[in-house]
Every structure is written in C-alpha cells, then in structure tokens.
A and B are shown apart, each in its own frame.
Chain A
Amino acid sequence: MIDITDIKLSNAQIAWRAAQDLQDGSYVNLGIGFPEMVAQFQPEGRTVTYHTENGVLGFGEAPPKGEEDWDLINAGKKAVTLKPGTAFFHHADSFAMVRGGHLDLAILGTYQVAQNGDIANWSTGKGGVPAVGGAMDLVHGAKQIAVITDHVTKKGDPKLVETCTMPLTGLGCVTRVYSSLAVVDVTEKGFVLRDKVAAISLEDLQALTGAELHIEGDVADLACPDV
C-alpha cells in the first residue's frame, strides 16, 4: 500500500481548505472537535455567522484562559465569547434552525461516508455508553453538509466507502467531503473528484477510496499553505 504519510494534508490544512469555500453572509454550524478549527481559517473579508446547538448564533472565539464565562459555551462545552450581533435562543429554536433548512452549511467529522451520502459519525458500534448529541439532527436541514476527515483510518482502511458498515447517523445527507488527500462531491452518480493532492496518482487515490471516484472535467490541485 502506498505510504501517504508525507503527502497527506494535516488536520489544519484540511480545515483551511474547507474554510476557503465558506461563503460571505452564510450561516454555518461547525461540529464539535476538529470541525471547530475551520473558523480559524475563515478568509478575510467574508462574514460568516456561526451557529451552535446550545443556543448561540454569531459567537466569537475562545476567551483567554481564566476569563471563561461558563454560561457562554459552545456545543463542545468550550467557552466562547460575545461579538456584536450575537443572539441567544432556546434549544427548540436552535434545532428549528438546523432541521428547518435555515443553515447554509454544516461541517462535521465522520467515521465513514458512503457514495450515496450516508454518514456514520456517532457510534463505533463497539458498545459502551451510546451518546448521540446533535449528530442525527445536524445531518438534516443545512443546505450543504460537508465532512472533513482523513482519507483513510489509522489502519489504512478507506473512510469513503460504498456502503457504511458502522452505525448510521443519517441517510443520503453528505454533499461534499474534504479529506486529507482530496475534495470529493457526493452526487447522484456517487463520488466525484474535484481536487486531489498533486503528489498522489489517480490510481493510488482510487486504491485508497472504497468506492469509485468519478471524474467530471478538470481535477484541481489540492494545495494548502503550511498552516
């Protein structure tokens, strides 16, 4: 198997790439953990309003340590800050924004994403305490559902697959994948390759992908700065 250690993007670079597609004036939910990093790379000159499930729209970045206000947190229970224009609302309104189609984009992490847009990102299915949080709501409603992820698991298994084998979070939800090797759209045809890192051949990329990568027109170089 091809060694991708030196050619794959870092998490920060994946987040940077996803951030380049943030639209001016959009409302965006960033999933807990890795996806939160996307906000750091929001291109200058664009206004993006971030939504968090626990009832805040338009919050700012984390406060300095020691200045946290624990009434002002995000869905990951990390402290955030106010910005001019911040709005608070209760949980039913918050999820009305989600399911009601009012968000332009949600960016989520994932274990697996299938060529038909199915996503498995809430449970490894290995027992323990089941905990879903907002995962099953977030995959519905936003106009675009993007995932950011390594292209393969730590063991080297594809995370972009024909059919999810892990417990599903939602069916046919995902519209775009930003991986450590490629940017892939999920279309009626299945996976369509948009960008790939220059250092990997199409053949090798396909070998690391669990379903067919369709090509439509040019495939752009997935080039990211050292962030």
Chain B
Amino acid sequence: MDKSLSSLSDAVSHVRDGMTIMIGGFGGSGAPIELIHALIDQRPRGLTVINNNAGNGHVGIAAMIEQDMVQKMICSFPRSSDPRAFTERYLAGKIELEVVPQGTLAERVRAGGAGIPAFFTPASFGTDLAEGKPKEEFDGKMYVRENWLKADVALIKGELGDPHGNLTYRMAARNFSPLMAMAAEKTFAQVSKRVELGDINPEHVVTPGIFVDGLVTVADPQQEEALIQAGARYP
C-alpha cells in the first residue's frame, strides 16, 4: 500500500462542483497553500468551505473566493489583516456565512469524524448564535445542541508522511487538520517530507493513516503569512 500521489493536481481532482471541503489551518499556520492553489487551477465552483477563517490577502482561501469558487464559508472568524476578498462578497450578498464558535467548530468536525451526530456545549448559550438550536439542562447548567460537520474532501498540511498516510505536523500548524482528516470522505495531505514505513516512530504519529487517502510531497511549503507580506496574488 502506498498512498503517495505524483502530483498536487491528482490530490485535488476528487473535488467536484458543489462539494463541501474542509481546509486545514488557523490563519496561515497549517494552511495547505500548494493544495489550495492546485484546486484553484481546476476551478470547481459552488463549494462550501470549512476553515477557521475566510481567507487573507489574495492567496489560499482568499484566492478561491476571488475566483468565485466558494458559495458558503463555515468558520469562526471571517476576519484577517486583509479580509477584502470575503468581506466584499459577503456584504454584496454573494457568499453565505455560517459563523460558529471556534471550539464548537472544532468539536463539530471531530464529531463528524467520530460518528457522533450531535453533542451539547455551553458555548453560545444565551447568545444570538444559539437561536433556533435545541437546549438542555445538565447538572443545573444549560447547554446548546450542535450537530456534526462532515465533508466530501479535506485538504491538509502535514510535516512527515509515510506510504500508509501516517502523519506528523509541525508545531501549531496542527490545529484543525487531525480533526478534518477524520471528518472527510477523502483526505489529501501535502507533506513537507515523505518518509519510508517505520521512519515515523509509532509513538509520534498524530494522524493515523486510516484517515488519509492520499499524500503529495511539497518540500519547503509556502507560508501564507510570508506570501501576504510579499503582496503575492494567485493565480
């Protein structure tokens, strides 16, 4: 078994119009920029994108939005240092937004991957974001029911990847990616280094390969933050 793919375009070729896509990263940290840009090259449209944010500058998710590929964003914080791509379309009614408390977003994705259709959280109880959601009291405190989130495809960035798809991550670039890897029908990871079976200490595997369908090597991946500082634009 070898889940290695020969190209980025192979990795994103499963994405079709109208699909729901999870994209790893918190701001630029962990953003799989090369996979996102390969997806932009294929221009699927009408996508629902799940990420913590809604793009920054003119690369990555912001560039997807600029190419009118995104119909809806599900995120916790659709602001960034340069949020124009999303903001302009949102205020013009051209893109939908579901804003979700960050911990709820993470847990909904985890639940989707774990086969748990719903759970209760204290977050958002008594606020505008809990409107219309079922509530229940447990041990004298009120909680809000939230449903799982699943996706057709997840695109994530790992550090090391082996032929079985076992992954490690680099520092805080881990964030949502291990959860998204579980919650998508197909998960594709770009990894900075492909290693052989046995090269990752089993004690250090963060995402077991069962959650990964394909990986592609991108040595020295681009950092969204550096691209934005350089005024980069994609395509």
Question: Which residues of A are interface residues toward B (Cβ below 8 A)?
Answer: 52-56, 68-73, 77, 82, 88-92, 94-95, 98-99, 118, 123, 128-137, 140-141, 167-171
Cα separation A46 to B219 with both chains bound (whole Å)? 41
Bound-state Cα–Cα, A131 to B129, Å: 11
How near does chain A come to B105, taking the closest CB pair, in angstroms?
8
If A70-B224, A167-B128 touch, does A129 touch B103 (CB 8 Å cutoff)?
A: no
* Cα separation A82 to B172 with both chains bound (whole Å): 11
In angstroms, Cα B25 to Cα A73, docked, is 12
Shortest CB distance B168–A (Å): 10
* CA A72 to CA B127, docked complex, whole Å: 32
Chain B nearest Cβ from A130, distance in angstroms? 5
- The reply to whether B176 and A90 form a contact with Cβ atoms under 8 Å apart is yes
Q: How far is the CB of B83 from chain A (nearest CB, A)?
A: 7
4 pairs of A and B residues whose beta carbons are closest in the complex: A95-B103, A137-B103, A91-B106, A171-B126
A-facing residues in B157-188 (Cβ within 8 Å): 169-179
Docked pose: A76 CA to B128 CA in angstroms = 24
Do most interface residues of chain A lie in helix, strand or loop, or is the interface mixed?
loop
Q: Are A131 and B78 in contact (CB under 8 A)?
A: yes
Question: Which listed segment binds A: B10-18, B60-68, B117-125, B193-201?
Answer: B117-125
Let me know if B179 and A90 touch, CB within 8 A. yes
Flag if B174 contacts A90 (CB, 8 Å). Answer: yes
CB pair B122 A70 closer than 8 Å: no
- CB of B126 within 8 A of CB of A170, answer yes
Chain A CB count within 10 A is highest, among B86, B101, B170, B178, for B101
Contacts across chains A and B counted by CB atoms under 8 Å: 146
Q: Is the CB of A90 within 8 A of B177?
A: yes
Pairwise interchain contact A169-B171, C-beta atoms closer than 8 A? no
CA distance A167 to B159 in the complex (A): 41
User: How far apart are the CA atoms of A88 and B170 in the complex, in Å?
Assistant: 9
A169 with B127: CB separation less than 8 A: yes
Check A129 against B86 for contact (C-beta < 8 Å).
yes
CB-nearest residue of chain A to B75? A131
Least CB distance, B207 to chain A, in whole angstroms = 9
How many Å lie between the Cα of A123 and that of B86 in the bound state?
18
Q: A72-B171, A95-B106, A131-B79 are in contact. Are A136 and B29 (CB under 8 A)?
A: no
Is B99 an interface residue, CB under 8 A from the partner?
A: yes
Residues of B within 8 A of A132 (CB): 76-77, 99-102, 129
**Are A88 and B174 in contact, CB atoms less than 8 angstroms apart?**
yes
Once the chains bind, are B106 and A129 in contact (CB under 8 Å)? no
How long is the Cα–Cα vector from A126 to B216 in the complex, in angstroms?
A: 45
Among the interface residues B103, B126, B129, B177, which one has the most CB atoms of the partner chain A within 10 A? B103
